[in-house]
Amino acid sequence: MIPESLIKKITKDDYLFAGLSSNVFLRPKYDPKKHYLDLTQKKYFKALLYLRHYIKVISDYYFSAVQDAKNIDLFMLTPSISSPMGPGSDSEAIPVKFGKFNCYLTDSAQFGFEPLIINGFDRVYCYLPSMRGENYDKRHLNQFYHCEAEIKGTLKDIKMVAEGYVKIMTEALLLMDNIIKKISRNYEATKTALNKLLEKKKFDEISFDEAVEILEKHNKKEYVNYTDKGRDIRAQGEIELMRILGITTPLWIQNFDRDRVPFYQKPDLNDSNKVINADLLFPSIIETGFGGEIIGSGQRQDNVEEMYESLKRQNLKSEPYEWYIDLRRQEGYSPTSGFGLGIERFIAWALGLNDIKDAIIYPRLKNVLTYP
């Protein structure tokens, strides 16, 4: 799928790392006081930069040339947050005072996509930072890169787009053999995992209910959050689920409990307490490597009354989202679906990293002062 001209560029740059000692590519321990100096001296960051560069290049190629999607330049401030607002979310918005108005740093591009879809675009995408305010850990950064897409169509349609995206990025990583050899935690495990992923024609899928039942059956109930508004699975539960199933390639979990996800996810036609959504989970490639949810996707609400009902069920005020709801009343509106992939999570998974900070050039961490 990758054009020959791009393959030549990737392999030519990858060759720069051939024959070099792996010892000079050791990951430095993050020190916010001298991180700027590490960037000038440590070869690990040079290799990581090349890898990240080509992931961005491949992303633009895939969406523009393969999917015929248009890249959208979006805002970094918004009065309407999207991802951190569902009751089951582990995210927090970052408030900002901008002039006389209270707003937030953008957590997701989705709300910027949907008005443009109505204006005659079938597919749009972006590759931009998203900002979240929760405490950072080995899975979470306070600023991370997000490749997101929105299309006219159903969840089935967007899952196909997402799977194609994962596979072409995997193809690109396999072209960077010398880089992977230098900075992955287990070169052979990474190569095996990447090749297995490409061999899989279609990723497996199970329902959210089935996932919970499997964890319960194997005495892993501690990995499920049970609330009066529904359930969700902890990150460790996602990894444990794939271990139980013996899964070695990504797995879709779909149809989550309605009141634990954002109000804009469309209720399932067969069960109004479920929604038409899916998360793509990745199995850890080594024992302590990164794994779990890397892609979140969903089909959007297309019914105004259902949207008000979902807001009410989740005890959310409708005022910040009236403009979003009103889109459904506009001439030319048609249902859409979208997904977002965390770039650092994908890199951390592929390299077998156990800390997402090692997958980004400039970590931005809550209450940690760093330069520049």
Specify if 275 maps to a domain. yes
Structure tokens at 330: 């506009």
Specify if 371 maps to a domain. no
Calculate mean pLDDT across residues 323-327: 96
Evaluate if residue 353 carries a pLDDT over 70. yes
Q: What is the pLDDT of residues 187-215, one digit of tens each?
A: 999 999 999 999 999 999 999 999 999 99
Evaluate if residue 103 carries a pLDDT over 70. yes
The answer for residues whose C-beta is within 8 angstroms of residue 205's C-beta and 6 or more apart is: 251, 252, 253, 254, 278
Instruction: Measure the CA–CA gap between 86 and 89, rounded to whole angstroms.
Output: 5
Residue 2's pLDDT is 97
The mean pLDDT value of the chain amounts to 96
CB atoms within 10 A of CB 234: 16
Residue 341's pLDDT is 98
Residue 80's pLDDT is 86
User: Residue 90's pLDDT band (boundaries 50, 70, 90)?
Assistant: confident
Structure tokens at 149: 């897409």
Query: What would the DSSP string read from start to end of 164-192?
Result: HHHHHHHHHHHH-HHHHHHH-S-HHHHHH
Q: What is the CATH number of the domain that holds 102?
A: 3.30.930.10
Evaluate if residue 179 carries a pLDDT over 80. yes
Give the structural domain span for 140: 4-359
Identify which of 103, 106, 64, 66 has the alpha carbon closest to the alpha carbon of residue 84: 106
Specify if 77 maps to a domain. yes
Instruction: Measure the CA–CA gap between 328 and 325, rounded to whole angstroms.
Output: 6
Specify if 269 maps to a domain. yes
Specify if 236 maps to a domain. yes
Specify if 365 maps to a domain. no
Number of folded domains that form the chain: 1
Residue 83's pLDDT is 72
Residue 81's pLDDT is 84
Specify if 367 maps to a domain. no
Specify if 78 maps to a domain. yes
Q: What is the pLDDT of residues 68-80, one digit of tens each?
A: 999 999 999 998 8
Instruction: Report how far apart, in Å, the C-alpha atoms of 188 and of each of 23, 100, 120, 191, 323 are.
Output: 17, 55, 46, 5, 50
User: Residue 89's pLDDT band (boundaries 50, 70, 90)?
Assistant: confident
Residue 85's pLDDT is 64
Q: What is the pLDDT of residues 286-317, one digit of tens each?
A: 999 999 999 999 999 999 999 999 999 998 88
Calculate mean pLDDT across residues 54-58: 98
Residue 91's pLDDT is 82
Residue 148's pLDDT is 98
Q: Quick one: how far is CA 184 from the chain centroid?
A: 20
CB atoms within 10 A of CB 59: 23
